[in-house]
Structure 1
Amino acid sequence: MPNFSRRQGRRQSPIWTLLSSWRAVFGTLSGDYRRTIRSWDVRVSPLSFLKKERGRLVDELEDYINLIVQQALLKQFISKDDYEDIVYERGPRKQVRKLLDIIDCLGDENAALFCSLFIQVKSIKPKKQTAKESVKDYLLLIQKHKDVLRRRNDCLKSYNCRHGEKFYLSDYFVNLLLVQGHYSLEIKKNELLTFGQQRIHLQNKKEEKLDIKLHQLFDKFTERRTPKKILVSGVAGIGKTVFVQKILYDFSNSVAYGNFDFFINFTFRDLNCIKKAVTFREIILKKHGHLSQILDDIFRNSEKLLIILDGFDEFKFYSQLDFDQYIVDPDEETELAQLVGSLIKGELLPEATTVITSRPTVINHIPVDCIERFVVITGFSVTEIEDYFQKFYENGEVGSEIFDFVRQNHFLFTLCYIPAFCWIVCSVLKGNSTLHIDQPKTMTDIYCHYLVVLLKHHTRQEAAANETAINTVLALGHLAYQSLLQHETLFSEQDMETICHSPSDIVYSFLDKTCVQELEYTENILSFTHFTIQEFFAALYYAYEVSVAVDIMENEVQSQLDTSPGYLDLFQRFLSGLLSDRNQNILRKHLKLDGSKKPELYISWLIDSIIEHCENGCYVFNLLHCLFEQQRDCLAERITPAVLRLNLSDNVFSPMDFDVLTYFLNLVNMDIDELDLTATHVNAQHLKQLQPYLRRCRSLWVGENNLDKETVRVVCSLLGHTDCQIENLGLGWTQLEDEDFLELYNVLKCNQTLKQLWVEGNNISYNAIEKFSDIVLFNTTLQRVVLLGNRLGAENMKEFTAKPYKNVIVAHFDERFGKDFWQGWWEWILQRCKICSNEKIVSFLTKVWLGLCHGQNTSWMRTWYIEVDKLLQTRIKFCSATNIRKRMESLQKMFQTKH
């Protein structure tokens, strides 16, 4: 082989030839790019040059990458697989980087060829668009996006419909009632916004609870600016996803939301499929690939962008959100939890509007100071239920007839305010006429009937088919149970090995299939048609499986699963209903399913749990629902707690919830030592319904509810009744004004049972308090009226200390009332904290600290602060929610400064 010198070798290589040809186009390049080329020392290989100038090349070539890649494929410089790898990258800069990575593997000569191609393409001056043409193209892309959204949201998802049958959203959608403001959240919001101030007044002015329409969702009401972060909450089945579909549909048809150019929606079910670090650009283009050409413009004009995050309660990583760590660049790669947190916090695309939907059970993982508008979906009204029936049966006369029948059944009618249950009720009644099944009385009854109706349609009463159907149902139950244990709502086809031989028509009556396109393959992701269906099947499996490997009913297992409060509520209700005699008989008769071996064991557990919770004043709400599902009045004979204390606080009651409470109180004929209805949204109608039972309460707590004048009158009616036994009444943080307080004053002139009245944190003035103070002239039983945290200035406090009020009015921390009184008050606070959720502890102690204690530090208060410190330390240790843990840590530091 001839021994060429290095210089001779370079002169004879194609690289040198290419370099000499560049002079012809060199003059057309930008100044920066000329300097880049001049910096190429011919003694340096093309690959080394590309690596050295990589950053500048990315800047220079991002606007030309599409043309470069197309030319490279046309000239066969790269393969089709290389081409697909490049264009799959989200964003032109990442595409340039991917191309440079591929060139790096092809050698010096190919690198030189690519350099030549770069220069040729870069020398082509793109035709500049006029402003008019640019606007026209932008509007065309908006319309294309709307066309895509309309196609995707045109039809309602109606399960078990025949092939080719469609249910159009415009024909079947019934308005949902939206209420602006979730009361307990609004209180917490106010607290956190004033955190660190010396004093807090939560009720300086009344917050309006506005009923709003869908098209008003983004309107400015009383806020200083149009809300950018909106949280829409509602219980399971209330219609959150259909609500999202409706606003997408209305936007796509240009009938509303004209202040936005683009809507981008995600479901957390889809996001849960992402198992690696991603950019926001990537997850957008994975679902909305048609936006690739315009996405940079969308980001630049983000004030015209609406982002929807649907189903936060199904997010696999909701407890891992850390709002102190965030990204600001849509092209920055990060973990999904951090990306979602950055959107909610408003650090990523801060000018964009974001809507989050969620069940109430997990919204405590979203900092309330991030949210500018709270909206509660409260379901159908009476008129809308009737409207839904008529549309479902496609015959106004038939729909009205069945509606009238349902309305006579109080439970069924109450259930129908939830749209998902309303659909199931209609499905059951439509297929129930030939089955001769007793009319349902509970939620589980409805789901059992629904299961029977669907299976009867598939099996046609054949014995072999029936056995196959039962095996399929139990296999689905096993899948549902395993998914519930793992806090999963999605699974792949590989997870369905136990039902791979089951009839697909039965399987897909209860399952949804979603096709997910990955880079190298396509995967089918499955989920139950509704999360409540999954919980029902999980309960069915648990009820009939003799030996469960992991018992979800054990407290130790639940703590290991790290389930959020309320996560297993529906599962437990379904389990109780399935183990009831009535549903055991239905499943035995119509599905030939052998009886479960667990009813007696379960009932013993349920009775013991209710007694234990009632005696200790623990949260008992879901256990009462489980008792209601049994529909066995005789069980009340076994519920014999030594003292009856019911804590139902911090749950926004539905009509069904009040029916359950009434059912229990009607069965258990005992005096009620304590009934806690704090933060349950009680109103005048609810209290009237409960009035016969409330009169036999010794302690009644209805604080943190927005008590209007009518509700205050009902409370006064209770106190004025001859059978009233109420000794302690809590009305703290209920937005009481002077007029309401003086109405209580008038009725207490005649009452001879009340000993303590708690009206802390309200909006009562010194004048009303002064007038109230002569109550001692009329009432000999009233010992304390606690008015901490009302409208009392420093001068008012001095006047109080100067005037003898017979030690009845407690408007500030006064040594005259003695340590015993304050110790009792503090023990009540600690007791409430011990039974509260972590979120509620933060809310409650913030009010106590800022609104009542004002950081005071007497000798006995130091002992209290130490006890709170210990309580918070324990809760922090076992709190898995980053957001709530940090809030507790901040609160703990405040108490630590005082001991």
Structure 2
Amino acid sequence: MHKETLRSSVLNSTLPNSLLGGQPVGKVIQRGHYTPLSVNAYDGDRARVNKADWEALEDVISREFPPGSEGRRLVLYGGVGMGKTTAVEKVIWDWTAGTRLQHYTLLMRVPVWELATLEAKAESLQSMLGRIYTHISTEILSDALRRPQSLLLVLDGLEQLQHLLCTPSSSSICDVQEEATGSVLLHSLLHGSLLAEASMLITSREPVQSLRCFEVVGFSQTQRRTFFQQFFSEGGQAERLFRQCEQVLGVYEQCFRPAFCWTLCNVFKTQLESKNTPPETLTHLLCIITHMLLQNQKMHAEQTRALLTSLGKLPDQSGLGSFLHHPVLSAFLCISGDVASPDTTFSFLSPVMQEFLLAASFYLDQSVLEISDKRSDLYYTFLAGLSDSVQCKPIEDYVGKFDESRMSVFSQWLVGHASRVLQDGDVTKHYCVFRLLQHARNSSLVKESISKSLLKAWCYRSMQEPDCAALSYVVSCVGEMEDMNLYRADLTSEQAEKLIPALRLSKSIGLAAVTHLSTALADGRTVTLDLSHSRLEKESVKTLFHALSRSALESLNLCGCSLAPADCEALAQMLSGGSRLRVLSLRGTDVEDQGFIHLSSALENCRLLEIDLSLCSLTAASIPALSSALNSGFSELRKLNLNQNTVTDDGMELISQVLTKGRLNSLK
């Protein structure tokens, strides 16, 4: 009977069901569409979240609540839309189905609203549970509370009891039959004086000190792909749309939220069915969502403008007066309480939508005189996107055209902001500026914001894929970059591919790995390439040298690279195959005599003027080949460095003969 009641409560969940609020929990579970979440153990420092430490929530539940354990308190915390409630409902469903946590003979919810009502009055825990679970006999409930080792309590939404948590409680209770206020009951349950041997699964927006906490970090990329496959029944379409969504500018960074994924899939499905253009950026996506939420509301432009402006000003509720009884509010907000009551609270179903409407209110409300420097990165992203007429068109269809003067205010702010940030050495702030410019999609604004002199030789490192794409966009708009210093950047192949447009327009490149570099160099403007101490793999060396024969490169530094004698054959082919290279450093590469002999054969048919072969393990055995090439009359070599090799006197005598004939200007 109890399990059937719980199953029914899961299927009939009254959680918000809207485009922003996510799919109804009951439908997710009943249709078998639940996608597991990832979590990360909380160690007191939320800044140290590492994807390598992510675990599947199901594995954590099994580990933290093993058979034979007692008194476990586990907190799952995370923001709005992270799937905490759906995950807990799935745990309850699996228990009722007999597939998980069967060592607990009884699982019971502790409803947060029941504790909240006990702020001013007292009731015992046993009385409250008996009142809620009328289908459980008094004898069975009493027996379960006397032997709490086999009892699992679920408290979903601890943040709703913040007023009780903040209430000082100097007393605690240990008897389930003792009457107490909601604050005392809550403190006693959380900290174990009440039902100390019972286990509790708790969800919250924030971690709870002194309890075992795991942050719900949402979907990994694999879990997102699974979500798309379940949403779109046709496998090929699911994979195609998944890849397309991952490429939408700004969307990748939000796709870890399950509720956001639900919204995203619905928008793409609607746009495909209506044969409309799918969203191109995160801002464009939010404009389309707002359009969809407003399209059936039958409101004129002035009303719609007033609504969006008021929503953008929350938590200030003063502007919502005329909309309190309008159904449109529930499309954007979760409303707790009677709308006519001053104690009613309004919270956004989507934190992303909250930031979007805050940015939109800047363009809609003339009373907002300036742009604050203390907002979130997402807010500035939306300001940038809404300055583009193409992205904001879906929302302008309902509120009318944005004021051009507001666009001008934003442009002036961004130009000044970029100038200040790019003169500072904090490259993480540079990436933020590059992303804003990319979201604005205005090449003229990029050129106005970033002069070539501002793109200095900063060392760009610790880059993510979106940073690489944004940097490439900015360099493409400016037209060139004097010095692309990526020497300390540990790039993945995906990141390197995003950088190809910027690399092609860079005159000088410093890089520690050559992944995808050949593609950029083959048709690029780069004249100086520094790969000193880089990791050069055999196949990548051949590909790189082949590309250099078709590049504009004039100076190549391979100092300290892991070149083998066999690699010099490919290098010689590059030099004699039409390369424009004039300066080459092979210092410390251990090319040895065999490799140097290959290089010497190319000196008669290349443009090389300078070559540094110091510390290359050369002996007199390779000097005859060099002497022959230099004496041929076709070599253009003028500077040669053979320091710190064991050439011997015989070898040096051969080189000296070349000097006397004026073939070389400098020999070390």
TM-score, structure 2 as length reference: 0.57
**Match for residue 466 of structure 1?**
300
**Match for residue 132 of structure 2?**
289
- Note the C-alpha offset of 1:546: 0.4
**Match for residue 888 of structure 1?**
none
**Match for residue 576 of structure 1?**
384
Is the alpha carbon distance of 1:247 and 1:326 closer, same or farther for their aligned partners in structure 2, counting shifts above 3 Å? farther
- Counterpart CA distance in 2 for 1:326 and 1:623 is 52
Which stretches in structure 1 are left out of the alignment for 5+ residues?
Answer: 1-139, 190-205, 391-395, 460-464, 486-490, 559-566, 701-711, 730-746, 753-776, 781-899
**Alignment of structure 1 residues 629-644 onto 2, 5 Å:** 629-637=439-447, 638-640=449-451, 641=454, 643=456
- Note the C-alpha offset of 1:170: 1.8
Is the alpha carbon distance of 1:327 and 1:633 closer, same or farther for their aligned partners in structure 2, counting shifts above 3 Å? farther
Asked if 1:498 corresponds to 2:318, the answer is: no
**C-alpha deviations, 1:585-606, integer Å up to 9, x for none?**
3433465344363222223323
* Partner SS, residue 262 of structure 1: strand
**Match for residue 455 of structure 1?**
294
**Match for residue 602 of structure 1?**
410
Asked if 1:218 corresponds to 2:40, the answer is: no
Instruction: Select the residue among 446, 458, 464 that pairs with 2:285.
Output: 446
- Note the C-alpha offset of 1:375: 5.4
* Partner SS, residue 100 of structure 2: coil
Which stretches in structure 2 are left out of the alignment for 5+ residues?
Answer: 519-527, 536-557, 564-586, 591-668
Is the alpha carbon distance of 1:216 and 1:165 closer, same or farther for their aligned partners in structure 2, counting shifts above 3 Å? closer
**Alignment of structure 1 residues 491-530 onto 2, 5 Å:** 496-500=320-324, 504-514=326-336, 526-530=346-350
**Match for residue 831 of structure 1?**
none
Instruction: Select the residue among 76, 88, 101 that pairs with 1:244.
Output: 88
**Match for residue 569 of structure 2?**
none
- Counterpart CA distance in 2 for 1:350 and 1:170 is 34
- Counterpart CA distance in 1 for 2:534 and 2:225 is 40
Is the alpha carbon distance of 1:583 and 1:216 closer, same or farther for their aligned partners in structure 2, counting shifts above 3 Å? same
- Counterpart CA distance in 1 for 2:391 and 2:217 is 33
Is the alpha carbon distance of 1:577 and 1:568 closer, same or farther for their aligned partners in structure 2, counting shifts above 3 Å? same
**Match for residue 393 of structure 2?**
585
**Match for residue 134 of structure 1?**
none
- Note the C-alpha offset of 1:150: 2.8
- Counterpart CA distance in 1 for 2:109 and 2:129 is 12
**Match for residue 563 of structure 1?**
none
| Native 8 Å contact 2:469 2:498 kept in 1 | no
Is the alpha carbon distance of 1:513 and 1:301 closer, same or farther for their aligned partners in structure 2, counting shifts above 3 Å? same
Is the alpha carbon distance of 1:358 and 1:221 closer, same or farther for their aligned partners in structure 2, counting shifts above 3 Å? closer
* Partner SS, residue 245 of structure 1: helix
* Partner SS, residue 264 of structure 2: helix
| Native 8 Å contact 2:11 2:26 kept in 1 | no
Deviates more, 1:295-304 or 1:577-586: 295-304
Deviates more, 1:290-299 or 1:251-260: 290-299
Read off the aligned partner of 2:99 and give its amino acid letter.
V
**Match for residue 646 of structure 2?**
none
* Partner SS, residue 597 of structure 1: helix
Instruction: Select the residue among 201, 213, 217 that pairs with 1:376.
Output: 217
* Partner SS, residue 572 of structure 1: helix
**C-alpha deviations, 1:131-164, integer Å up to 9, x for none?**
xxxxxxxxx6x54762564354498834499xx9
- Note the C-alpha offset of 1:545: 0.4
| Native 8 Å contact 2:35 2:226 kept in 1 | yes
Is the alpha carbon distance of 1:144 and 1:417 closer, same or farther for their aligned partners in structure 2, counting shifts above 3 Å? closer
- Note the C-alpha offset of 1:181: 4.7
**Match for residue 230 of structure 2?**
388
Read off the aligned partner of 1:750 and give its amino acid letter.
C
- Note the C-alpha offset of 1:444: 1.5
* Partner SS, residue 305 of structure 1: strand
Is the alpha carbon distance of 1:236 and 1:605 closer, same or farther for their aligned partners in structure 2, counting shifts above 3 Å? farther
Instruction: Select the residue among 593, 597, 613 that pairs with 2:421.
Output: 613
- Note the C-alpha offset of 1:687: 5.4
Greater share of residues in helix: 1
- Note the C-alpha offset of 1:208: 7.4
| Native 8 Å contact 1:178 1:376 kept in 2 | yes
**Match for residue 101 of structure 2?**
257
**C-alpha deviations, 1:475-506, integer Å up to 9, x for none?**
254144221x7xxxxx8xx98413247xx343
- Counterpart CA distance in 1 for 2:188 and 2:383 is 39
- Counterpart CA distance in 1 for 2:171 and 2:384 is 44
**C-alpha deviations, 1:458-484, integer Å up to 9, x for none?**
44xxxxx433xx51453254144221x
* Partner SS, residue 546 of structure 1: coil
Is the alpha carbon distance of 1:420 and 1:750 closer, same or farther for their aligned partners in structure 2, counting shifts above 3 Å? same
Read off the aligned partner of 2:437 and give its amino acid letter.
L
Instruction: Select the residue among 243, 247, 264 that pairs with 1:407.
Output: 243
Cα RMSD (Å): 6.0
Is the alpha carbon distance of 1:509 and 1:522 closer, same or farther for their aligned partners in structure 2, counting shifts above 3 Å? same
Instruction: Select the residue among 173, 181, 185 that pairs with 2:33.
Output: 173
**Alignment of structure 1 residues 198-217 onto 2, 5 Å:** 209=53, 211-212=55-56, 214=58, 217=61
Is the alpha carbon distance of 1:418 and 1:479 closer, same or farther for their aligned partners in structure 2, counting shifts above 3 Å? closer
- Counterpart CA distance in 2 for 1:225 and 1:496 is 50
- Note the C-alpha offset of 1:450: 1.5
TM-score, structure 1 as length reference: 0.45
**C-alpha deviations, 1:2-54, integer Å up to 9, x for none?**
xxxxxxxxxxxxxxxxxxxxxxxxxxxxxxxxxxxxxxxxxxxxxxxxxxxxx
- Note the C-alpha offset of 1:254: 3.7
Is the alpha carbon distance of 1:153 and 1:713 closer, same or farther for their aligned partners in structure 2, counting shifts above 3 Å? farther
- Counterpart CA distance in 1 for 2:296 and 2:81 is 24
Read off the aligned partner of 1:535 and give its amino acid letter.
E
* Partner SS, residue 548 of structure 1: coil
**C-alpha deviations, 1:702-758, integer Å up to 9, x for none?**
xxxxxxxxxx998xx9xxxx94478999xxxxxxxxxxxxxxxxx995389xxxxxx
Asked if 1:419 corresponds to 2:258, the answer is: yes
- Counterpart CA distance in 1 for 2:360 and 2:420 is 27
Instruction: Select the residue among 316, 335, 352 that pairs with 1:532.
Output: 352
- Counterpart CA distance in 2 for 1:405 and 1:676 is 35
Asked which structure has the greater RCO (Cα within 8 Å, sep 6+), the reply is 1
Asked if 1:432 corresponds to 2:271, the answer is: yes
Asked if 1:482 corresponds to 2:314, the answer is: yes
Aligned residues: 511
* Partner SS, residue 423 of structure 2: helix
Read off the aligned partner of 1:466 and give its amino acid letter.
H
**C-alpha deviations, 1:226-253, integer Å up to 9, x for none?**
9945454667644334323332333344
**Match for residue 859 of structure 1?**
none
- Counterpart CA distance in 2 for 1:299 and 1:698 is 70
Deviates more, 1:584-593 or 1:572-581: 584-593
- Counterpart CA distance in 2 for 1:683 and 1:288 is 60
Is the alpha carbon distance of 1:373 and 1:167 closer, same or farther for their aligned partners in structure 2, counting shifts above 3 Å? closer
